[in-house]
Amino acid sequence: MKVTVLGKEYASGTSKKTGKDFAATVVHVSHKKNGVDGLSVDNMTTFFATMLSLVADFLAADPIIYLFGLVCLILICKAVKIIVS
């Protein structure tokens, strides 16, 4: 996925959950999204949370998916090697 950085925001304060001080930089981005005319605007926190959720779902899948993915990757590498040479 390709994103365009629109701006950044510095945030600091005290965590409501732990009571500890924090400092963070939030990056605001735009990206293409299904069902949206034009671009969708988000911050990287939401973007990364979504991507990590997708990775976690993939890793929670049965191991056969890993084997299938590996076989597909090998076939794609072979095809690219044949095309290049």
Structure tokens at 18: 């732990």
Structure tokens at 77: 């590498």
Does the pTM exceed 0.75? Answer: no
Amino acid identity, residue 19? Answer: G
Q: How far apart are CA 64 and CA 67, in angstroms?
A: 5
CA proximity to 27, closest of 10, 15, 50, 49: 10
Task: Return the residue matching tokens 């926190």.
Answer: 45
pLDDT tens over the chain, length 85 residues: 677 788 888 888 888 888 888 887 777 777 777 776 777 766 666 667 777 777 777 777 777 777 888 888 899 999 988 888 7
